[in-house]
Amino acid sequence: MVPADATRALDSWLGGRAPGYRRKQILPRLWQRPVGSWEEASDLPRDLRGALEREFPLPRLHLATTQLSRDGTRKFLWRLPDGAEIESVLIPEGKRRTLCISSQAGCAYGCVFCATGRMGFGRHLEPWEIVGQVREVTLDATLGKPTNVVFMGMGEPLHNWEAVDRALTILNHAEGFAIGARHITVSTVGIIPNLAKLAARPEQFRLALSLHAPTHERRLSLMPVERKYGLDQVIPALDAFRRRVTFEYVLIKGANDSPEDGDRLAELARPLGALVNLLPLHPGGAPDLLPTGLAERQRFAGRLRALGVTATVRRSRGLDIDAACGQLRAAVQRRREVAAERLRWLIDSGWPLVRETVDFWNSLTRGS
């Protein structure tokens, strides 16, 4: 529930059970100074902690596995209560700690360069599962509270608008995580009805459009969503945003990186004053596609700048881990399938299974 609903629920529940000031002690433990369980809230009386544990148990995400890159990027694979798995990525840069979070388990939109799109759609996440990714990271004192949050993990945020809408409120509200709206970015392929709902919110949330190609034909070859929500509809819809829009553009060799692509991209970005983020294709996210080389990325950016467009060339983070969206979940699933196949082979072969079975179950526990 959002902070206003949590306040009402606590006030109603407390009633004559405890003094009213207890609510001011309890509410911050949800998001501002979160605890893993009510037993950890040592500033509350023991009997009140027990009652809260029974009435309002705090749901948690289970950390299935994590990877740490040499550049400091950390990837998390969370297991949800029903067994679904989602990913988050924490990217430290100076004083900034950007957390990339998921809004769905899997994705229905099938972008060819995205590991999540290739795995298909599982289900929508509940609001608590979305903000729970921020909460779990905040609970780890060695990581600290994220300063920035981007909805660029698994899933299409605007496909799960109702949950994302509530999650945005919790992330931004003064009694929630109190992360400034300008430090929260929603990335979308352009689901037009819900794009309008995001634009109607009064906060200054940032919008990133997953563009990746400047023409209908090019974009359709990479992003099936173009059939339903084409550029001829999506680009005009961006006029409703009062803040600067970013175009996310993964450069793929031979697919969207020609000089003509740059010219057409400039024609889309310049009237909106859009910032263009040029992203390298992460190796492993789409093994059948090739990334545009660094020199070519720089030339592409220079062409945009010469045409009056602000363009940045991003570098890949977490190259030594499974950092591409959906890649860790896919890699873990593959390792589990190999382990299960090996166990089946051992059983069929009639081998002694004690040590092999222990190793197999340990690998599942570690997610390796």
Report how many helices (DSSP H) and strands (DSSP E) the chain contains, helices first: 13, 12
Give the model's pLDDT for residue 341: 56
Round the average pLDDT of the chain to a whole number and report it: 89
pLDDT digits over 329-360, tens only? Answer: 555 555 555 455 555 555 566 555 555 555 65
CATH topology (fold) of 62-325: TIM Barrel (3.20.20)
Q: How confident is the model at residue 115 (pLDDT cuts 50, 70, 90)?
A: confident
Query: Is the pLDDT score of 282 beyond 60?
Result: yes
Please state the pTM of the whole predicted model: 0.86
Greater confidence (182 vs 285) lies with: 182
Give the model's pLDDT for residue 321: 58
Give the model's pLDDT for residue 357: 56
Per-residue pLDDT, averaged over 70-88, amounts to: 95
Give the model's pLDDT for residue 349: 60
What are 278's two structure tokens?
A: 């040029």
Query: Is the pLDDT score of 277 beyond 70?
Result: yes
The answer to whether residue 111 is catalytic is no
Give the model's pLDDT for residue 291: 93
Per-residue pLDDT, averaged over 163-169, amounts to: 98
Long-range contacts, 341-350 (Cβ 8 Å, 24+): none
Angle between helices 294-306 and 259-272 (to 10 degrees): 50
Which listed residue (87, 129, 136, 156) is catalytic? 87
pLDDT digits over 12-62, tens only? Answer: 999 877 787 898 999 999 999 999 999 999 999 999 999 999 999 999 999
Query: Under 8 Å CB-to-CB from 47, ≥6 apart: which residues?
Result: none
Q: Tell me the residue type at 210.
A: S
The candidate with the shortest Cα–Cα distance to 27, out of 175, 154, 127, 192, is 175
Give the model's pLDDT for residue 353: 52
The answer to whether residue 248 is catalytic is no
Which listed residue (100, 107, 114, 325) is catalytic? 325
Give the model's pLDDT for residue 322: 55
**Tokens 């070859």, residue?**
221
Greater confidence (23 vs 212) lies with: 212
pLDDT digits over 248-261, tens only? Answer: 999 999 999 999 99
Give the model's pLDDT for residue 78: 97
What whole-number distance in Å separates Cα of residue 111 and Cα of residue 90?
A: 23
Per-residue pLDDT, averaged over 319-338, amounts to: 55
Greater confidence (337 vs 153) lies with: 153
